[in-house]
């Protein structure tokens, strides 16, 4: 709850009702803002005190679930992860994320992004089906192998990169930076054997070659993922394969975990 004597900030929020005949329009709200208040706190203040019909999506309130993406002053942000005072402004313009269909007010339909994500087969593919169906041991992965794709696993599927991408805005068949980063994440996983299947999905006119390397996706990402890098690494894989410079790697073998067990450290007893 804002403190008394808090600074008044004008939230100019884009409203849109899916009812026929409704057009997007802007509505202003005065929000008392105090130190540490996030954009999401401001929107919750509006909903609880000024207009309960204002619609936005939120869940974790800690930058983990990826639900609260929106445009603030024309730039994509996670509302729960962005403090009002970061903008040094008395007026903030809040709109839904572009490049995705609007459901209502600030809520966009993320289905196109999730469909693109699913189309990249975002799981480990192995051809040793017996081992996959009845696992006997573990697929080996060294720390340096994990390091080749670790940053891409931090994606929370918030869609900020998709909304920032000029190619996603102009080509509906482009899978978008989120899906392409996940394509690379699984291709680079040393346990995976499905690289060829995925590379053929993205080596099209609407695939990686349509990325203009604007870099807006990586700039917008709130989790430090670099989708623009992933797309360039996919291009490099495709180019080296076409030039015969890249051998088809075999997925990592199955190896039993070490049998030697370390002596257990006794749990310290609690004393009051």
Residues 190, 138: Cα–Cα separation, whole Å: 13
Residue number with CB closer to ligand FES (159 or 195): 159
Which of ligand FES, ligand SF4, none binds 157 (CB below 5-8 Å, type-dependent)? Answer: ligand SF4
By CB under 6 A, residue 208 contacts ligand FES? no
> What is each CA distance from 248 to 63, 82, 144, 153, 181, in whole angstroms?
38, 44, 19, 23, 20
Which of ligand SF4, ligand FES, none binds 227 (CB below 5-8 Å, type-dependent)? Answer: ligand SF4
Q: Which of residues 66-85 bind ligand FES (CB under 6 A)?
A: 66-68, 78, 80
By CB under 6 A, residue 225 contacts ligand FES? no
Q: Answer positive or negative: Cα dihedral of 199, 200, 201, 206.
A: positive
The alpha carbon of 235 is separated from its chain's Cα centroid by a whole number of angstroms, namely 21
Q: For ligand FES, which residue of 7, 12, 64, 73 counts as binding (CB under 6 A)?
A: 64
Q: For ligand SF4, which residue of 13, 70, 160, 211 counts as binding (CB under 6 A)?
A: 160
Residues 182, 152: Cα–Cα separation, whole Å: 7
Residue 17 CB, shortest distance to ligand SF4, in Å, is 27
By CB under 6 A, residue 112 contacts ligand SF4? no
> What is each CA distance from 116 to 58, 154, 252, in whole angstroms?
22, 18, 27
- Size (the chain), residues: 272
Q: For ligand SF4, which residue of 110, 156, 233, 234 counts as binding (CB under 6 A)?
A: 156
Which of ligand FES, ligand SF4, none binds 96 (CB below 5-8 Å, type-dependent)? Answer: none
Residue 86 CB, shortest distance to ligand SF4, in Å, is 18
Which of ligand SF4, ligand FES, none binds 165 (CB below 5-8 Å, type-dependent)? Answer: none
Q: Give the interface segment with ligand FES, choosing from 59-67, 133-141, 227-235, 242-250 (CB under 6 A).
A: 59-67
Residues touching ligand FES, count (CB under 6 A): 12
Q: Which of residues 226-245 bind ligand SF4 (CB under 6 A)?
A: 227
Q: Contacts for 76-81 with beta carbons within 8 Å, 24 or more apart?
A: 76/160, 76/163, 76/164, 76/220, 77/39, 77/160, 77/222, 78/158, 78/160, 78/222, 79/38, 79/39, 79/40, 79/43, 80/38, 80/39, 80/40, 81/38, 81/222
Residue number with CB closer to ligand FES (68 or 71): 68
Angle between helices 227-242 and 195-202 (to 10 degrees): 100
Residue number with CB closer to ligand FES (66 or 195): 66
Contacts of 219 (CB under 8 A, 6+ apart): 164
Residues 75, 69: Cα–Cα separation, whole Å: 10
Q: Which two tokens stand for residue 118?
A: 């699913």
Instruction: List residues binding ligand FES (CB under 6 A).
Output: 58-61, 63-68, 78, 80
Instruction: List residues binding ligand SF4 (CB under 6 A).
Output: 155-161, 178, 181, 220-221, 223, 225, 227
């Amino acid at each position: 709850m804002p403190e008394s004597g808090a600074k008044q900030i004008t939230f100019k929020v884009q409203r849109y009702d899916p009812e026929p005949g409704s057009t997007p329009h802007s509505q202003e709200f005065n929000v008392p803002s105090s130190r540490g208040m996030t954009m999401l706190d401001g929107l919750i203040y509006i909903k609880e005190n000024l207009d309960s019909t204002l619609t936005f999506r939120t869940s974790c309130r800690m930058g983990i679930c990826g639900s609260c993406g929106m445009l603030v002053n024309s730039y994509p942000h996670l509302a729960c992860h962005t403090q009002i005072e970061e903008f040094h402004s008395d007026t903030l313009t809040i709109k839904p994320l572009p490049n995705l269909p609007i459901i209502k007010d600030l809520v966009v339909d993320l289905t196109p992004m999730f469909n693109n994500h699913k189309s990249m087969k975002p799981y480990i593919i192995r051809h040793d089906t017996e081992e996959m169906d009845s696992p006997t041991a573990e697929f080996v992965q060294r720390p340096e192998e994990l390091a080749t794709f670790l940053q891409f696993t931090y994606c929370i599927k918030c869609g900020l990169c998709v909304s920032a991408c000029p190619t996603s805005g102009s080509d509906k068949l482009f899978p978008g930076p989120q899906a392409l980063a996940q394509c690379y994440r699984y291709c680079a996983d040393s346990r995976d054997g499905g690289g060829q299947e995925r590379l053929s999905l993205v080596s099209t006119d609407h695939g990686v070659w349509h990325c203009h390397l604007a870099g807006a996706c990586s700039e917008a990402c709130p989790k430090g993922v670099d989708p623009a890098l992933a797309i360039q690494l996919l291009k490099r894989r495709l180019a080296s394969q076409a030039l015969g410079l890249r051998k088809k790697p075999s997925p990592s073998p199955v190896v039993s975990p070490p049998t030697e067990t370390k002596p257990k450290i006794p749990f310290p007893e609690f004393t009051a």
